[in-house]
Structure 1
Amino acid sequence: MAEWQNGVWWSNDNLRLHYRDYAGPADKPPIICIPGLTRNARDYEGVAARLAGDWRVICVDLRGRGESAYAPDPMSYVPLTYVQDLERLLDTLGIERFVSVGTSLGGIVTMLLAATDRGRIAGALLNDVGPEIDPAGLARIRGYVGKNANHPTWMHAARALAEANAAVYPGWGIEQWLVMAKRLFKLTSAGRIVLDYDMKIAEPFRIPGNESGVDMWPALDALADVPVLVVRGERSDIFAAATAEKMVARLGKAEGVTVSGVGHTPTLEEPEAVAAIDRLLAKVANE
């Protein structure tokens, strides 16, 4: 795996937040990777390892995830707060323009960042998310988020993930489930393996509308002038094919790619996604 430096920044409400910083050239906009609801910076290990060196890659832990602090007020676990947190990161690091890679919740945050400061995003990848979210998928996520699980070994954690998510990645073997387990879980001082996020992130998410907070189509329109890649898992229950097609048609410089045989969400390490990411970054480099 590529090497990285750990970095920290402080939120407006004085939370210590964490990111991984993979080195790359200063003459290109850095890539900022924003994870999904229950994920963390480790979710992008494969993406960062492939791109680091050619691009600077910054993978963030949103508040309440990974090595970032847990929020005293669980109602701050909403997209508009994440946007404010990331704006503080950009200002702290002196980043004027960047490529935003957002998976699920991270894609919602990407669209809101674009709407907040239209000129700051040089390109964007929206991974299995759009302005409209399928209610069935939301119900599934609400059914498991915030329910703690702990396991005695990594193999137990991997097998539990495989059982719960067989429909999402039907072709995976145990080695792939082990990789995911080590991204989603952490080892505690007591020797148990537990989910690596604050269970209280579920509290605002259970309130309908809090998954995004606003009408997202105008936010998407803020990306109309930059290269955009819309990635969809073929089996996704969150992101409808019709929504993806509408997004690509609505944006001026967008490409849509479907990753076959997977659900919500593609890992972005699949061959279709890898090739599409390279095309996106080539467009950004040539802008």
Structure 2
Amino acid sequence: MTQPTLRFVNCLDATGLHRMAYWEWAGPSADAPVLVCAHGLSRQGRDFDALASAMSERYRVICPDVVGRGRSDWLRQPAGYQLPSYISDMVALLARLDVEQVDWVGTSMGGLIGLSLAALPRPEGGVSPIRRLVLNDVGPAVRFDALQRIGSYLGKVQRFASLDEGAAYLRTISAGFGPHTDEEWMALSAPLFLEEDGGGCKLRYDPAIALPFSAVTPELAAAGEALLWAAYDGLRCPTLLIRGADSDLLSAETARAMTQRGPNARLVELPGVGHAPTLVHGDQISIVRDFLSS
């Protein structure tokens, strides 16, 4: 498998500038279309290595580390770890890439970023920055009990004696990802850890990303859901919705509703998988490739 190049873009926040890292997989030509792959809440851009490698046959593939994760800077004000800041950073990224439109694959939080970006109001005659949108196990309505499950481990500072120990821990909180070989799981896990002087490792994200997340109440979640449905209903780009059939975050009812309103998403459900499909396996990669090529 070829390896991506690590690059950075400066982004603006309430206190000044921060750098957002992104991993770039060169496409077949300088003018190849761009595919952006955006990760979930506590993950990072290297989650998409398998998908990006496959899609780089056609695309220039960009996999950002959302601020506070991976190789990106940590925010000085944790209140910035919310969708509006992430969307602003992605606007800066698209400007850096010098492209008018991209295709977008977003897992969980990354899907909400893409949905929100695609729904932004545009000048008269302007085009959406998102040409085609893949939402991986996420929609406007998110089950609150799934948020509580994620909140039970998000932001806890943990150190591990070895990478193997850290990967084993991640496996205990990621059962919804579905079955993976040990080799596949280590490939997904290794980029998430930072080795420490003197041995051992820790997760490579700012624990403070949990602070705004933990402040979400059922009432705030309901208000956010209404805004996201309004954004979804305004989408005009072709949209694919991938749902883990056992997902505790995206209900079957919400998924069906998404096929009947807004962009009338095409729905594919994956048996034996919960939240969220990793898009590592060939059959999952083919689903994405076929939709983006259609």
TM-score (norm 2): 0.89
Which position in structure 1 is the counterpart of 2:2? 2
Cα distance in structure 1, aligned partners of 2:11 and 2:260: 36
How high is the sequence identity, in percent, across the aligned residues? 34
Deviation at residue 251 of structure 1 after TM alignment:
3.9
1:124 lines up with 2:128 in the alignment: no
Q: Is the 8 A contact 2:118 2:130 kept in 1?
A: yes
Secondary structure of the structure 2 residue equivalent to 1:130: coil
Q: Of 259, 267, 290, which aligns to 1:279?
A: 290
Deviation at residue 196 of structure 1 after TM alignment:
1.0
Judged with a 3 Å threshold, the aligned counterparts in structure 2 of structure 1 residues 276 and 42 are, in CA distance, closer, same or farther, namely: same
Deviation at residue 253 of structure 1 after TM alignment:
5.7
Deviation at residue 148 of structure 1 after TM alignment:
1.7
Which position in structure 2 is the counterpart of 1:22? 25
Judged with a 3 Å threshold, the aligned counterparts in structure 2 of structure 1 residues 91 and 169 are, in CA distance, closer, same or farther, namely: closer
Q: Is the 8 A contact 1:159 1:177 kept in 2?
A: no
Q: Is the 8 A contact 2:156 2:207 kept in 1?
A: yes
Which position in structure 2 is the counterpart of 1:98? 102
- Which runs of 4 or more aligned residues in structure 1 lie more than 6 Å from their structure 2 counterparts after TM superposition? none
Judged with a 3 Å threshold, the aligned counterparts in structure 2 of structure 1 residues 84 and 132 are, in CA distance, closer, same or farther, namely: same
Cα distance in structure 1, aligned partners of 2:111 and 2:159: 29
Q: Is the 8 A contact 1:259 1:272 kept in 2?
A: no
Deviation at residue 280 of structure 1 after TM alignment:
1.5
Question: Which deviates further from its counterpart, 69-78 or 237-246?
Answer: 237-246
Q: Of 180, 190, 205, which aligns to 2:188?
A: 180
1:219 lines up with 2:228 in the alignment: no
Q: Of 169, 179, 182, which aligns to 1:171?
A: 179
1:236 lines up with 2:247 in the alignment: yes
String of CA shifts for 1:45-94, please: whole Å, max 9, x gaps.
Answer: 11111111311100001111111100000000001100001101111221
Secondary structure of the structure 1 residue equivalent to 2:128: helix
Deviation at residue 271 of structure 1 after TM alignment:
4.1
String of CA shifts for 1:159-188, please: whole Å, max 9, x gaps.
Answer: 22233334x245334333322321332222
Deviation at residue 127 of structure 1 after TM alignment:
0.6
Cα distance in structure 1, aligned partners of 2:56 and 2:273: 26
> Which residue identity lines up with residue 116 of structure 2 in the other structure?
L
Structure 1 segment 191-230 matched on structure 2, within 5 A: 191-208=199-216, 209=220, 213=224, 215-223=227-235, 225-230=236-241
Cα distance in structure 1, aligned partners of 2:222 and 2:155: 14
Deviation at residue 26 of structure 1 after TM alignment:
4.6
String of CA shifts for 1:123-166, please: whole Å, max 9, x gaps.
Answer: 01101100000111111011110012221112211222233334
Q: Of 35, 40, 49, which aligns to 1:36?
A: 40
Judged with a 3 Å threshold, the aligned counterparts in structure 2 of structure 1 residues 73 and 263 are, in CA distance, closer, same or farther, namely: same
**Structure 2: unaligned runs, 5 residues or longer:** none
